[in-house]
Amino acid sequence: MCWISRNNTAIVMKTPTMFMFLAFTISCSSTVKQNKMTEQHNSNPYYSRTDTIHLNVSNAEWKKILPADLYAVAREQDTERPFTGKYWDADTKGTYYCAVCGNKLFRSDAKFASTCGWPSFFEAVRPNSIIYKEDNSYGMKRIEVECARCNSHLGHIFDDGPPPTFKRFCMNSISLDFEPDDKNVIK
């Protein structure tokens, strides 16, 4: 392995050293991503990937904890613009969790390519991980989908999904945290 530096001096790095350097760089970039996610959740004492006990937290409290864009969708039923979220066309294998409380919501196996511009799933990972509510806002009759642990807004469900359920959970990317099965995959 050889580079030419600015003063034209050859810099030689033996292959094993180079391999270690690359391995270190890759491991660092993955750690940085993990740290960013952990940092966001460090300020959220309610976030847990294992605790399923229902949370009763006021919006005033959530507003202090959550980033403004997540608060707007999760607690004020805002909708992110289609084709702008992180996960609408993602197909990496892994698990999707509630970005507000860490509740396990969907597996990538139930995700399907939808043209609507939002991540779409045909079933939840557990029937009791989500709850449904009538939503008659904007002159439409829709069914809202909420996280069953923290009652945060995730999106809506429609009857135009693929088999076997024919349902389409139309979710906001920002309401979801994704954990790839392969931890080396960039999120």
**124 forms part of the interface with Zn ion (CB under 5 A):** no
Tell the smallest beta-carbon distance from residue 146 to Zn ion (Å). Answer: 8
* Residues of span 46-85 touching Zn ion by CB under 5 A: none
Contact status: 120 vs Zn ion (CB under 5 A): no
Contact letters for Zn ion, residues 151-170 (x by CB under 5 A): -x------------------
Q: Which of 66, 70, 101, 174 binds Zn ion (CB under 5 A)?
A: 101
Q: In the 3-class helix/strand/coil scheme, how is the chain assigned residue by residue? A: CEEECCCCCEEECCHHHHHHHHHHHHHHHHHHHHHHHHHHHHCCCCCCCCCCCCCCCCHHHHHHHCCHHHHHHHHHCCCCCCCCCCCCCCCCCEEEEECCCCCEEEEHHHEECCCCCCCEECCCCCHHHEEEEEECHHHCCEEEEEECCCCCEEEEEECCCCCCCCCEEEECHHHEEEEECCCCCCC
Shortest Å distance, C-beta 104 to Zn ion: 10
- Using the rule CB under 5 A, which residue among 70, 73, 110, 150 binds Zn ion? 150
Edge-first strand order for the sheet with 130-135 is 111-112, 120-121, 168-171, 153-158, 142-147, 130-135
Q: Residue 152 Cβ, how far from Zn ion at the closest point, in Å? A: 5
Applying CB under 5 A, the site for Zn ion has a residue count of 8
Rounded to the nearest whole angstrom, what is the least distance from the CB of residue 13 to Zn ion in the complex?
48
Say how far apart CA 80 and CA 78 lie, in whole Å.
7
Stretch that binds Zn ion, among 3-11, 29-37, 103-111, 168-176 (CB under 5 A): 103-111
CA 123, CA 41: separation in Å to the nearest integer? Answer: 26
- Among 66, 70, 130, 147, which residue interacts with Zn ion (rule: CB under 5 A)? 147
* 98, 101, 150, 170: the active-site residue: 170
Residue 105 engages Zn ion in binding (rule: CB under 5 A): no
Question: Is 170 among the residues known to form the active site?
Answer: yes
Where does this chain bind Zn ion (CB under 5 A)? 98, 100-101, 103, 147, 149-150, 152
Residues marked as catalytic: 170
